[in-house]
Amino acid sequence: MEFKDRNLNTPITIVSIAIPALVALLFVLPKPDMHPGFDIRILPLFHAILNTATAVLLLASLYFIKNGHVKAHKTTNLVAVALSAVFLLSYVTYHSLAPETRFGDIDHNGVLDAAEKGVLGGIRYLYYFLLLTHIVLAGIIVPLVLFTLLRGFQNDIPRHRKIARITWPIWFYVAVTGVIVYIMISPYYH
């Protein structure tokens, strides 16, 4: 059976459900007493770098396809997917080991008191809006990226284009908001 004829809808659906479920579990399971041999506090910056690189690759991918450079378009998208996979593995590692960081928690006591909320003002609402939309769309983007890739590999260009018009802006938004959220919360890491 050729790749073009394979029906990968079920595996894509399973992966698309498993990834958000695993990420959600990270926030309810107790943290293991593990020390990976390096300072995990560098990982949020690493995640922001990966998100930045992904956003740049997505812009390049769009440029390439608009200018008829199909091979370069394919390459940039595959690298963006690879970086996203590295991001996911690193993100899972970080959040399975690191204590929770709260936006605005200046004294790092895990509680956002009235004084800390007062310092933040309205920026708190912007942060939580960006974070919420980032999280929701990050869960939605997994199947979109996988189905977009599948249609491209199957050379089903009409369906690839149709889904890519939805996938690209959402993926780009997730990458960019990942960086913005990191910049906003980074002063509160401990």
Structure tokens at 118: 């007062």
pLDDT of amino acid 5: 53
Structure tokens at 144: 């979109």
Distance CA 47, CA 52 (A): 9
pLDDT of amino acid 78: 97
pLDDT of amino acid 14: 87
Report the predicted TM-score, pTM, of the whole model to 2 decimal places: 0.87
The 8-class DSSP code of residue 30 comes to P
Q: Which residues of the chain have pLDDT under 70?
A: 1-6
Q: Which domains does the chain have, with CATH numbers?
A: 38-188 (1.20.120.80)
CB 76 within 8 A of CB 84: no
Structure tokens at 96: 């399975």
CB 88 within 8 A of CB 19: yes
Q: Is the dihedral of CA 85, 87, 89, 95 positive or negative?
A: negative
pLDDT of amino acid 82: 97
